[in-house]
Amino acid sequence: MKRDVRAYLDVAAWCLGLDDLPSASTVLDAARDEAASGAGTPLVDYYRAFIAKRSGQVEQADYFLAQAAKAPVDYIFPSRLADAEVLAEAVERNPLDAHALYLLGNFLFACGRYDDAAKLWFQALGAGFDHPVLERNLGVYAWKVKKDSKTAAGYYEKALQLAPNDHRLYRDLDEIYFLVGDDSRRAQLFAKAPAAVLDRDTLRVRRALLYAQQRHFDEALALFERHDFRPWEGGEIIRQVYVLACVGAGQRHFDTRDFRAAEATFRKALEYPRNLGIGRPDKPRDAEALYWLGRALQEEGKTEEARAAWQKAAEDGKGLEGTSRLYGALALIRLGRAREAEKILSELLEEASGRNPSASALYVAGLADRAQGHEDAAREEFRRALELAPSLWQARIELERARP
């Protein structure tokens, strides 16, 4: 167990559960002697104070409490019921112990007692605890619990002042600015970020998303070049934003009637670059890019190639993915199979008109209505999708694109 404070605390907590104070004290003395610099050291002193108080050694308990209140609390995550009991007594004995208030708040928040946790965090803040994680925690409380993105932004901004190299703060703050629709502050956030932070995968993707929203597609695509991504859980957003930028750039070429450039860019959207870290799946969902590729090829007079692209899009549209079904239906229209397409489009619209439609169903219905020229209906569906899922960036992009 040498130098692993958590193991000592586990044993001490077990001894306390048996009401064996001498054994718990012996274990904690060993923890302090052999792992004095290890993570969790303040908790060791809070435990020692708790045991000393229970043993009638009040002065020694006060000494241990003073030691704990001065020790760093980084990377300490109270998780045992005994931790909470020990910290609660520390707060009772010294209501101005900011570290005990903060740590007990962390425990309660992890247990779902959000308001009780926030109350303790506010007390820690009032006691003069100036710490980036405390500010971030209050930001998370405002953002996730109170649904108050503007207040959350203020706490995250303070956290960034205290920890300007923490890439996670930039990621979260960018999402918060996204939720309030403040692209200007998003741009400023990235402009001030250190180079090492901007080079992180999540920040590259979020910057690319901002560029794509601003229709700066070349700048967005540049962020996907010469960088090896290591997708995290849920990392499919890397390819989603890559395709968004490719299709957006291709549509811009299409609008200027540079169909050759449009074809090349739509083909790029069908690629799975090795550096993105996401290989081609068994059943790719490329219907959107294939649909637009067919449009470009048709304009170039490459009729057979266009039909082949639309046929692939139609096959792709047979899956469960809503957007694939939509673009598969649009491809069917181009293939002259309007009746099949109308059936699919009707199904997509029906899914969004039910009693409790999902945000994704509303988003796809918006795309379907837009494709049929029903712009007002499309905007309403995108707006409702965002009400249900404020982080659904696809719906926000489409809503912004629909502005007159």
Whether the per-residue pLDDT at 185 is higher than 60: the answer is yes
What mean pLDDT, rounded, does the chain reach?
93
Q: What is the dihedral of CA 105, 106, 108, 113, to 10 degrees?
A: 90
Span 205-228, average pLDDT: 95
Between residues 394 and 1, the one the model is more confident about:
394
Give φ, ψ of 204 to 5 degrees: -60, -45
3-state class (DSSP) for residue 4:
coil
Contacts of 153 (CB under 8 A, 6+ apart): 139, 173, 176, 177, 180, 185
Model pLDDT, residue 404 = 46
Span 38-67, average pLDDT: 88
Q: What one-character DSSP code corresponds to residue 69?
A: H
Span 286-314, average pLDDT: 97
Least confident of 7-16, 26-35, 338-347, 349-358: 26-35
Whether the per-residue pLDDT at 321 is higher than 70: the answer is yes
Give 61-112 pLDDT, tens digit per residue.
999 999 999 988 988 899 999 999 999 999 999 999 999 999 999 999 999 9
Between residues 1 and 341, the one the model is more confident about:
341
Whether the per-residue pLDDT at 402 is higher than 70: the answer is no
Rounded percentage of the chain residues whose pLDDT exceeds 90:
84
Question: Is 0.85 topped by the overall pTM?
Answer: yes
Model pLDDT, residue 8 = 87
Model pLDDT, residue 187 = 97
Model pLDDT, residue 318 = 87
Whether the per-residue pLDDT at 315 is higher than 50: the answer is yes
Q: What is the dihedral of CA 132, 187, 272, 362, to 10 degrees?
A: 90
Task: Quickly name the fold that domain 1-114 has.
Answer: 1.25.40
In whole angstroms, give the CA distance from residue 327 to residue 291: 6
Model pLDDT, residue 283 = 83
Q: What one-character DSSP code corresponds to residue 375?
A: H
Q: Are 309 and 293 in contact (CB under 8 A)?
A: yes
Model pLDDT, residue 355 = 87
